[in-house]
Structure 1
């Protein structure tokens, strides 16, 4: 009788797994195939999913326990692949993979869009005084620096001085470029008032890219194809032969490193 019940439980679990579209669960592996653009796109959508910001402490503990049970082969009957993938998504969104500590909500990958988006709005609104763009540029670079630090590769410690150097360099670059462009636009006498107002809304955006690159060079760099993955942010590696042909032709390296976080 006991054997019959066990067989029935296993059969029910198999049927539940088969009834969903979720692929077989693999602990620590991406849910979506990384050999296609669509698979990588779905993977990054999962990473930045803001719904994980609202996961409760109890749900997080349940997710961690479910993954531990999967790791040790002690899963209860009826657990589906979908539940396991969901548990892994929750854990990876909230806990640092190296330190296992909770990442502060604004600095999680899933918080980058809602929290970073608010800053972008602040960068785009008209600024009458120089203090206003300086504040938003400083806030943007501060947020980026904290996201980089919170999601750093903690297996290879880096001196705090490098992070501070990168942060200061990014802030100084962003403020210098942004304020300089704003002053130039204000002094330009060939613009109509409407055109000047429109241009001024976007004068701060060019200062974001160069400043961000400066921060990556001095601080914890984003792992990217052709980059230097000494201290990557949750880096992954893939064989060049598995990439799309047009991307594979752009490098002679047998493998490329990519940032699994952003």
Structure 2
């Protein structure tokens, strides 16, 4: 997780170290969020990172602690622990695990000559993984009935299409699959003509998996970086129950991932 000292501005607890008003800043921020190397953080390193941030929060940081150490500690904590419950998120459901654990599902969805049974299986597995990621990273500041998540899960599985209420979230979910669906077939059509895949046809699936992994790794940070994480909306455009809950003319919202 090494980077040059110039990449680390003065530390701000709970903030991003990259400019969130630009696409480039958001792209670098989300590259940090999905960094799969954080999956291998040891328990001792996690505890050390959490303690370093607690000391900073209470003004008890040791002398010599650098901004880089604080930013890296925050990256580890945000990648592993839920911000509301402070509990560890299971590896497959962390944002840093979304690509490593999601790529096999993407490969399964793109396999040729599928039967109805295999299509249903991969769609079910895909929506189940997405539902678990959403639940594991949910807003837990207020208790939410489990029935709400179950109904959402059933709706996602039966439709296999996620319809977002906000245009930004909708655009993100539209853009995300495009490179995953378009790039692998194009790249594989070229690779399958090479001597190595002609001589060793059993390598087609491993090559296909690597291509899908690369496409997924490229598409995810690009898609979720299109719009700022926090945006403003006029209350007149919101649902009636939200309008009546505030006298403000506009409110800020987190677009989610």
Match for residue 99 of structure 1 among 74, 77, 85: 85
Cα distance per residue 1:40-80 (max 9 Å; x no partner)? 11111111111111111110000001001111111112111
Aligned to 2:128: 142
Aligned to 2:174: none
5+ residue gaps, structure 1: 1-17, 175-210, 227-234, 241-252
Q: Is the 8 A contact 2:39 2:97 kept in 1?
A: yes
Partner SS, residue 212 of structure 1: coil
Aligned to 1:168: 154
When residues 80 and 53 of structure 1 are mapped into structure 2, their CA distance, relative to the original with a 3 A threshold, is same
TM-score norm. by structure 1 comes to 0.63
1:15-94 to 2 correspondences below 5 Å: 20-94=6-80
Name the count of aligned residue pairs. 183
1:124 and 2:110 are equivalent in the alignment: yes
Cα distance in 2, alignment partners of residues 53 and 212 from structure 1: 27
When residues 139 and 104 of structure 1 are mapped into structure 2, their CA distance, relative to the original with a 3 A threshold, is same
Cα distance in 1, alignment partners of residues 158 and 232 from structure 2: 38
Q: Is the 8 A contact 1:224 1:258 kept in 2?
A: no
Deviation, structure 1 residue 128: 4.0
Q: Which moved more, 1:94-103 or 1:108-117?
A: 108-117
Q: Is the 8 A contact 2:5 2:68 kept in 1?
A: no
Q: Is the 8 A contact 1:237 1:258 kept in 2?
A: yes
Which consecutive aligned stretches of 4+ in structure 1 deviate over 4 angstroms post-superposition?
221-226, 253-256
When residues 239 and 134 of structure 1 are mapped into structure 2, their CA distance, relative to the original with a 3 A threshold, is closer
Partner SS, residue 230 of structure 2: strand
When residues 164 and 24 of structure 1 are mapped into structure 2, their CA distance, relative to the original with a 3 A threshold, is same
Q: Which moved more, 1:42-51 or 1:120-129?
A: 120-129
When residues 19 and 133 of structure 1 are mapped into structure 2, their CA distance, relative to the original with a 3 A threshold, is closer
Cα distance per residue 1:22-49 (max 9 Å; x no partner)? 1000111111111212111111111111
Partner SS, residue 103 of structure 1: coil
When residues 170 and 82 of structure 1 are mapped into structure 2, their CA distance, relative to the original with a 3 A threshold, is same
5+ residue gaps, structure 2: 172-227, 234-248
Larger radius of gyration: 1
Q: Is the 8 A contact 2:18 2:25 kept in 1?
A: yes
Ranked by relative contact order (alpha carbons within 8 Å, sequence separation 6 or more), the top structure is: 2
Partner SS, residue 29 of structure 1: coil
Aligned to 1:237: 230
Match for residue 112 of structure 1 among 89, 95, 98: 98
Cα distance in 2, alignment partners of residues 35 and 19 from structure 1: 22
TM-score norm. by structure 2 comes to 0.64
